[in-house]
Protein backbone atom coordinates (compact mmCIF):
# COMPACT_ATOMS: atom_id res chain seq x y z
CA UNK A 1 0.00 0.00 0.00
CA UNK A 2 1.02 3.57 -0.71
CA UNK A 3 -0.41 6.57 1.07
CA UNK A 4 -0.50 10.00 -0.54
CA UNK A 5 -0.92 13.18 1.47
CA UNK A 6 -1.64 16.41 -0.40
CA UNK A 7 -1.43 20.01 0.67
CA UNK A 8 -1.60 23.49 -0.77
CA UNK A 9 -5.04 24.02 -2.24
CA UNK A 10 -7.17 27.05 -1.61
CA UNK A 11 -8.84 30.13 -3.04
CA UNK A 12 -6.89 32.46 -5.32
CA UNK A 13 -7.75 35.32 -7.64
CA UNK A 14 -7.29 35.02 -11.41
CA UNK A 15 -3.65 35.55 -12.31
CA UNK A 16 -2.51 34.33 -8.92
CA UNK A 17 -0.34 31.37 -7.97
CA UNK A 18 -0.61 28.29 -5.82
CA UNK A 19 1.72 25.41 -5.06
CA UNK A 20 0.46 21.90 -4.44
CA UNK A 21 2.58 19.26 -2.75
CA UNK A 22 2.14 15.53 -2.29
CA UNK A 23 4.18 13.09 -0.22
CA UNK A 24 4.09 9.35 -0.76
CA UNK A 25 4.73 6.86 2.02
CA UNK A 26 4.44 3.13 2.53
CA UNK A 27 5.56 0.46 0.09
CA UNK A 28 7.31 2.74 -2.40
CA UNK A 29 8.66 1.12 -5.56
CA UNK A 30 12.03 2.15 -6.96
CA UNK A 31 10.56 3.26 -10.28
CA UNK A 32 7.29 5.11 -10.41
CA UNK A 33 5.50 8.02 -11.96
CA UNK A 34 3.85 10.72 -9.91
CA UNK A 35 1.44 13.26 -11.18
CA UNK A 36 -1.55 15.48 -10.69
CA UNK A 37 -5.04 15.06 -12.05
CA UNK A 38 -8.03 17.33 -11.59
CA UNK A 39 -11.79 17.07 -11.70
CA UNK A 40 -13.46 20.35 -12.69
CA UNK A 41 -17.07 20.83 -11.55
CA UNK A 42 -19.38 18.65 -13.60
CA UNK A 43 -16.56 17.15 -15.63
CA UNK A 44 -14.44 14.01 -15.66
CA UNK A 45 -11.04 13.73 -14.06
CA UNK A 46 -8.21 14.74 -16.38
CA UNK A 47 -4.43 14.64 -16.35
CA UNK A 48 -2.75 17.90 -15.44
CA UNK A 49 0.92 16.89 -15.33
CA UNK A 50 3.10 13.87 -14.60
CA UNK A 51 6.79 13.26 -13.97
CA UNK A 52 8.94 10.14 -14.05
CA UNK A 53 11.89 9.15 -11.85
CA UNK A 54 14.21 10.50 -14.50
CA UNK A 55 12.45 13.84 -14.66
CA UNK A 56 10.55 13.38 -17.91
CA UNK A 57 7.38 15.44 -17.79
CA UNK A 58 4.02 15.47 -19.49
CA UNK A 59 1.55 18.36 -19.34
CA UNK A 60 -1.99 18.94 -20.45
CA UNK A 61 -2.06 21.50 -23.25
CA UNK A 62 -4.26 23.77 -21.16
CA UNK A 63 -1.57 24.24 -18.50
CA UNK A 64 1.63 24.30 -20.56
CA UNK A 65 3.67 27.40 -19.81
CA UNK A 66 1.75 28.09 -16.60
CA UNK A 67 2.21 24.99 -14.45
CA UNK A 68 5.47 23.28 -13.50
CA UNK A 69 5.72 19.83 -11.98
CA UNK A 70 8.76 18.75 -9.97
CA UNK A 71 9.72 15.92 -7.68
CA UNK A 72 12.19 15.03 -4.96
CA UNK A 73 12.95 11.33 -5.25
CA UNK A 74 14.74 11.24 -1.91
CA UNK A 75 11.63 12.53 -0.14
CA UNK A 76 9.07 10.83 -2.40
CA UNK A 77 7.36 14.13 -3.01
CA UNK A 78 5.89 15.78 -6.06
CA UNK A 79 4.94 19.44 -6.36
CA UNK A 80 2.90 21.44 -8.81
CA UNK A 81 3.62 25.14 -9.14
CA UNK A 82 0.61 26.80 -10.69
CA UNK A 83 1.03 30.34 -12.04
CA UNK A 84 -1.31 32.66 -13.89
CA UNK A 85 -4.29 30.70 -12.65
CA UNK A 86 -7.56 31.00 -14.53
CA UNK A 87 -11.16 30.39 -13.41
CA UNK A 88 -11.19 27.27 -15.61
CA UNK A 89 -8.43 25.80 -13.41
CA UNK A 90 -10.99 25.50 -10.62
CA UNK A 91 -11.17 21.83 -9.69
CA UNK A 92 -10.37 19.22 -7.11
CA UNK A 93 -6.75 18.25 -7.68
CA UNK A 94 -5.61 14.69 -6.99
CA UNK A 95 -2.11 13.39 -6.51
CA UNK A 96 -1.42 10.17 -8.38
CA UNK A 97 1.23 7.48 -7.90
CA UNK A 98 1.74 4.82 -10.54
CA UNK A 99 4.18 1.90 -10.53
CA UNK A 100 3.26 -0.59 -13.23
CA UNK A 101 -0.26 -1.88 -12.46
CA UNK A 102 -0.19 -0.31 -8.99
CA UNK A 103 -2.07 2.98 -8.90
CA UNK A 104 -2.86 5.10 -5.86
CA UNK A 105 -4.69 8.38 -5.38
CA UNK A 106 -4.62 11.13 -2.83
CA UNK A 107 -7.76 12.38 -1.16
CA UNK A 108 -7.92 15.51 -3.30
CA UNK A 109 -7.46 19.19 -2.58
CA UNK A 110 -9.75 21.97 -3.76
CA UNK A 111 -8.38 24.77 -5.92
CA UNK A 112 -10.77 27.64 -6.58
CA UNK A 113 -9.84 30.51 -8.88
CA UNK A 114 -12.28 33.37 -8.48
CA UNK A 115 -12.38 37.10 -7.98
* pLDDT (0 to 100) of residue 14: 98
Mean pLDDT, the chain, integer: 95
* pLDDT (0 to 100) of residue 30: 79
* pLDDT (0 to 100) of residue 28: 84
* pLDDT (0 to 100) of residue 99: 92
50 vs 30, residue with greater confidence: 50
Long-range contacts of 3-9 (CB under 8 A, 24+ apart): 3/104, 4/95, 4/96, 4/97, 4/104, 4/105, 4/106, 4/107, 5/106, 6/93, 6/94, 6/95, 6/106, 6/107, 6/108, 6/109, 7/109, 8/109, 9/93, 9/109, 9/110, 9/111
* pLDDT (0 to 100) of residue 39: 98
pLDDT, tens only, 42-96: 999 999 999 998 899 999 999 999 999 999 989 999 999 999 999 999 999 999 9
Q: Does residue 31 surpass a pLDDT of 90? A: no
Amino acid sequence: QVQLVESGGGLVQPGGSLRLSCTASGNIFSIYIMGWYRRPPGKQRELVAAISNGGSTNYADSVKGRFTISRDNAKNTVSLQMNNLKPEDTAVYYCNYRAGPNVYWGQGTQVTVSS
